Amino acid sequence: MVYNLEIDTHTRQEMVDITRQVEEIVEKSGVKSGVCILYVPHTTAAITVNENYDPTVKEDILTTLRRLVPENYPYRHTEGNADAHIKAAIVGSSRVLFIENGRLVFGTWQGIFFMEFDGPRRRRVYVKIIADAAG
Ligand code: ZN
């Protein structure tokens, strides 16, 4: 079974902390030990794990991606969102996390971020929970 997490973004480019929502899905699944696979079915959005304590980290990541991949450049894709496709390709569309004792395993400062590059839009993240094989 795949859970469908819906996210409303509010600006063109932003990082949305979805740690709590994913943890709720893990709790609901009842799985105590296994893996949690997160997949973003969009071509102009992505997902990552990074620091969710100091908010300036988010700003630095977005600022740096903007510097590396400017919005205005003579790209061949003329839909006006070529930079968003490239940023999504760099960051990636999936992540795998571990579940132990019914909880996601993180480092001290880590959280899960949905990365919007062509918002605002209604977006989704697919969440697949797989329990360890018995034994
Ligand atoms: Zn496009």
Q: In this predicted model, what pLDDT tens digit does every residue of 2-42 receive, in sequence order? A: 999 999 999 999 999 999 999 999 999 999 999 999 999 99
What is the pTM (predicted TM-score) of this model? 0.95
What is the rounded distance in angstroms from the CA atom of residue 83 to the CA atom of residue 70?
6
CATH topology of domain 2-131: Jelly Rolls (2.60.120)
Question: How far is the centre of ligand 1, averaged over its atoms, from the C-alpha of 27 (Å)?
Answer: 36
User: What pLDDT is attached to residue 101?
Assistant: 97
Question: How far is the centre of ligand 1, averaged over its atoms, from the C-alpha of 126 (Å)?
Answer: 21
Question: How far is the centre of ligand 1, averaged over its atoms, from the C-alpha of 44 (Å)?
Answer: 7
Between 78 and 88, name the one with better pLDDT. 88
What is the rounded distance in angstroms from the CA atom of residue 103 to the CA atom of residue 19?
11
User: What pLDDT is attached to residue 135?
Assistant: 57
Question: How far is the centre of ligand 1, averaged over its atoms, from the C-alpha of 45 (Å)?
Answer: 11
Question: How far is the centre of ligand 1, averaged over its atoms, from the C-alpha of 36 (Å)?
Answer: 29
Read off the pLDDT band of 88 (50, 70, 90).
very high
